[in-house]
């Protein structure tokens, strides 16, 4: 019998990054219907940064969390409804309580790859409410396989029923995935999943590699809609897994139809691998830094690509925008010293 793979589809969440969180009510309805028709098991929705993240700083979402969850729930019957939860953005009392009321099935509680501790209370809360909670480790290329296992074990101990590692910067090569997934599958008692980005053109093969190493959950978005160079392209995954003899339960023709529908409903065009996303992947830095990096490059008259590589060397993580100025200033000083010398 073909090995089963559980596909979780964050098109209506990670895809919101590609449109500055401006997905419309119509887009949610059209895509939920298309995904339901294609038998996509889990449809993840929301602001790009998850529940409670809509804000001036991170970007205001066109729809409120309540609107998104209500409209999505109305149009998903067999497909389960999932959300992305980053403690810090998402509060338990206000946001989680409401999401449970609105019928969310799968809560994916996420932290930076070395900070699983912050997910403790959220995971416990979801489990006590009788709902499904997963642990998600973001920017997972910044931790060694052993570190990742340690963090994942914490999440497991809090009650997480699955662990997904994210290649948020699209920095992985297949061998990196192999090592990490094998370590997690070996060391955990719960299913392991992989969420790829395509900065170096490796998202599909990285997902296949993850499955070959024992991962049973794979994330993918239609047409690759998602942050930066985009996510692993869902309809390609379905085709490739079908050819390789894995069972996703998704109808190939219907998921291809969903891609056509998304092409019409969503704006702008699907993500492609831009020069900056390649640099971001090579440097292992989240591509969300692109705008402040461009500003700093302008201010200090340095190459934005050098800033990205500088950030990579300093292991910059999301939120550390102050580092950008520091790196830019250092580069400018070096350049000026080189000119004088």
Chain residues binding a copy of itself by CB under 8 A are 173-174, 200-205, 223-224, 232-233, 235-236, 239-240, 243-244, 253, 256-257, 259-260, 269-270, 272-275, 278-279, 281-282, 303, 305
**Residue 98 annotated as binding?**
no
Q: What angle do CA 278, 284, 289 make, to 5 degrees?
A: 75
Alpha-carbon gap, residue 79 to 40, rounded angstroms: 6
Smallest gap from residue 179 Cβ to a copy of itself (A): 16
**Alpha carbon distance, N-terminus to C-terminus of the chain:** 69
CB of 54 or CB of 231, closer to a copy of itself: 231
With contact defined as beta carbons under 8 Å apart, do 240 and 252 qualify? no
Alpha carbon 71 to chain centroid distance?
A: 22
C-beta closer to a copy of itself: residue 295 or 305: 305
Nearer CB in complex with a copy of itself: 130/275: 275
Give me the least distance between CB of 230 and a copy of itself, in Å please: 9
Q: Is 75 annotated as a binding residue?
A: no
**Minimum gap (Å) between residue 187 Cβ and a copy of itself:** 27
Other Cβ atoms closer than 10 A to 272: 10
CB of 7 to a copy of itself, least distance (A): 15
Options 17, 112, 122, 141, the catalytic residue:
17
Q: Residue 99 or 259: which CB sits closer to a copy of itself?
A: 259
The annotation status of 168 as a binding-site residue, yes or no, is yes
Q: Which is nearer to a copy of itself, 66 or 173 (CB)?
A: 173
Residue 14 annotated as part of some ligand binding site:
yes
Task: Give CA–CA dist 290/279, Å, rounded.
Answer: 10
Question: Is 13 annotated for ligand binding?
Answer: yes
Nearer residue to a copy of itself within complex by CB, 170 or 193: 170
- For this structure, is 17 an active site residue? yes
Lookup result for tokens 């692993």: 232
Distance separating alpha carbons of residues 262 and 34, to the nearest angstrom: 9
CB of 24 to a copy of itself, least distance (A): 22
Tokens of 293: 């990096």
Locate tokens 């099935």: which residue? 105
Torsion of the alpha carbons at 217, 223, 226 and 229, rounded to the nearest 10: 110
Contacts of 128 (CB under 8 A, 6+ apart): none
Looking at residue 284, what DSSP letter applies?
A: T
* Sequence-ordered list of residues with C-beta below 8 angstroms from that of 336, at least 6 positions apart, any chain: none
The CA angle 67-271-262, to the nearest 5 degrees, is 50
**Least CB distance to a copy of itself at residue 58 (A):** 27
Report phi then psi at 233, rounded to 5.
-75, 115
In 3-state terms, what secondary structure has residue 108? strand
Please state, in angstroms and rounded to a whole number, the distance separating the CA atoms of residues 330 and 59. 29
Q: Which residues are annotated as a binding site?
A: 13-14, 168, 195, 197
User: Which amino acids are annotated catalytic?
Assistant: 17
Q: Which residues are annotated as a binding site for substrate?
A: 13-14, 168, 195
Q: Which residues are annotated as a binding site for Mn(2+)?
A: 14, 195, 197
């Amino acid at each position: 019998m073909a090995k089963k793979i559980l596909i979780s589809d964050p098109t209506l969440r990670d895809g919101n990054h590609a449109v500055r969180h401006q997905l419309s009510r119509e887009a949610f309805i059209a895509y939920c219907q298309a995904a339901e028709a294609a038998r996509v098991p889990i449809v993840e929705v929301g602001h790009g940064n998850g529940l409670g993240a809509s804000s001036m700083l991170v970007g205001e979402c066109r729809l409120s969390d309540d609107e998104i969850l209500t409209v999505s729930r109305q149009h998903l019957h067999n497909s389960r409804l999932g959300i992305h939860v980053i403690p810090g953005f998402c509060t338990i009392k206000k946001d989680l309580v409401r999401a449970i009321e609105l019928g969310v099935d799968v809560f994916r509680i996420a932290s930076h790859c070395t900070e699983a501790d912050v997910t403790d209370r959220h995971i416990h809360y979801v489990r006590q409410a009788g709902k499904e909670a997963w642990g998600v480790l973001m920017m997972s290329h910044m931790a060694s396989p052993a570190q990742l296992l340690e963090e994942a074990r914490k999440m497991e101990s809090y009650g997480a029923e699955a662990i997904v590692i994210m290649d948020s910067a699209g920095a992985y090569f297949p061998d990196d995935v192999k090592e990490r997934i094998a370590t997690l599958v070996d060391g955990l008692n719960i299913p392991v999943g992989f969420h790829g980005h395509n900065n170096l053109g490796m998202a599909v093969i990285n997902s296949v590699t993850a499955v070959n190493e024992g991962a049973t959950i794979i994330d993918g978005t239609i047409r690759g809609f998602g942050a930066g160079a985009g996510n692993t392209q869902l309809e390609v995954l379905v085709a490739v897994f079908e050819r390789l003899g894995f069972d996703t339960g998704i109808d190939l023709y219907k998921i291809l139809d969903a891609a056509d529908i998304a092409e019409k409903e969503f704006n702008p065009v699907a993500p492609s691998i831009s020069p900056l996303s390649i640099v971001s992947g090579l440097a292992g830095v989240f591509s969300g830094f692109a705008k402040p990096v461009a500003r700093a490059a302008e201010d200090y008259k340095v190459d934005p690509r050098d800033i990205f590589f500088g950030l990579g060397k300093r292991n910059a993580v999301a939120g550390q925008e102050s580092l950008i100025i520091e790196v830019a200033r250092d580069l400018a000083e070096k350049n000026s010293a080189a000119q004088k010398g």
